[in-house]
Amino acid sequence: MENGAAPTAQPVIVAIDGPSGTGKSSTSKAVAAQLGLSYLDTGAQYRAITWWMVTNGIDLTDPTAIAAVAGKPEIVSGTDPLAPTITVDGYDVAGPIRTQEVTSKVSAVSAVPEVRTRITELQRSIAAGAEGGIVVEGRDIGTTVLPDADLKIFLTASPEARAARRSGEVKGSDVAATREALIQRDAADSSRKTSPLAKAGDAVEVDTTELTLAQVIECVVTLVEEKRAGK
Ligand code: DC
């Protein structure tokens, strides 16, 4: 670890799940950086495989076609919370995976069981290799990927707050349209058969609607520290 890990701290695995616009990424990165942990953005991995499928002209209306090539792209995630990276077959896709085209198609690709199996294996091996501990953010981390995580957090916020945050990130976007797109994507992610977006029974739910980012970060850091102290 190059980001200031406390040398005596026990490795800790933190799962942070929740829908889009709840502050998952900003919170997860900041908590990891503050506590000297690695960081993994699993949404970026689903976006990366989606980008590869779009680029290679795979028919995304056909789950069988998606499943047939799910093992092909090589996806590598860099886990420094201060400078996370994502490549596909050696190509830096950090920018291309955030386009509207990829965002609108990622739910269809990530619903395919063969895609989930492949990406879940990758996520587990990254978490197992993170010596000082890791914060993993996604939709099914506490329920499926790392059910034995030391601490599970489920972030929520009202649809209005989530849309306002997301449209603030995308220049010139319309809040009402962003809200509709978010609701549709969450509905698709929550209703798919294989490991849907869901709160684990033992997750701590944090409603971020009325909280600033700094308050959410402080709340999660405190929860991790309490866990480490055995409280
Ligand atoms: O967090 P994000 O918006 O970058 O995630 C993009 C998509 O990836 C999201 O709509 C659903 C999917 N995803 C998933 O199915 N499982 C995860 N653990 C993370 C993301």
- Residue 9 near residue 132, CB atoms below 8 Å: yes
Instruction: Name beta bridge partners: 91.
Output: 88
Which atom of ligand 1 is nearest to 97's Cα?
4
Asked if 54 contacts 102 with a C-beta cutoff of 8 angstroms, the reply is yes
* 123 within ligand 1 shell (Cβ under 6 A): no
- The angle subtended at Cα 41 by Cα 192 and Cα 26, nearest 5°, is 110
**Is the CB of residue 160 less than 8 Å from the CB of residue 152?**
no
Please indicate whether residue 42, judged by its CB atom, sits closer than 6 Å to ligand 1. Answer: yes
pLDDT tens figures, 156-167: 999 999 988 877
Cβ of 18 closer than 6 Å to ligand 1, yes or no, is no
* Domain-embedded: residue 72: yes
Strands 75-78 and 85-88, bridge-based pairing = antiparallel
Lookup: tokens for 109: 């690709």
Three-state secondary-structure class, residue 59:
coil
Would 71 be classed as within a structural domain?
yes
87 is in an annotated binding site: no
Q: What is the CATH number of the domain that holds 128?
A: 3.40.50.300
The whole domain housing 62 covers: 13-226
User: What's the Rg (C-alpha) of the chain?
Assistant: 17
Does residue 231 belong to any structural domain of this protein? no
Is 1 a residue whose pLDDT tops 70?
Answer: no
Give the atom of ligand 1 at the shortest distance from the alpha carbon of 111. 15
Q: What is the pLDDT of residue 15?
A: 98
The whole-model pTM stands at 0.93
Ligand 1 midpoint to CA 231 (Å)? 31
Domain-located, residue 1: no
Question: Which of 6-10, 41-45, 62-66, 217-221 shows the lowest mean pLDDT across its residues?
Answer: 6-10
| pLDDT one-digit tens code per residue, 170-186 | 666 788 888 888 889 88
Burial per residue of 193-226, b for 16 or more beta-carbon CB atoms within 10 angstroms, e otherwise: eebebbbbeebbebebeebeeeebbbbbeebbee
CA distances from 22 to 27, 29, 52, 67, 101 (A): 9, 14, 27, 30, 22
113 is in an annotated binding site: no
- Structural domain includes residue 7: no
What is the per-residue pLDDT across 82-132, written as a single tens digit (0 to 9) for each?
999 999 999 999 999 999 999 999 999 999 999 999 999 999 999 999 999
> Which pLDDT value is given to residue 5?
47
Q: Any idea which of 74-78, 185-189, 213-217 has the lowest mean pLDDT?
A: 185-189
> What CA–CA distance (Å, rounded) separates 183 from 133?
33
- The sign of the torsion formed by the CA atoms of 46, 49, 53, 59 equals negative
Q: What percent of the chain is helix, strand and coil (3-state, nearest 5)?
A: 50, 15, 35
Contact 164, 175 (CB under 8 A): yes
Number of structural domains found in the chain: 1
Residue 106 lies in a domain: yes
Cβ–ligand 1 distance for 155 under 6 Å, the answer no
- 144 in ligand 1 pocket by Cβ < 6 Å? no
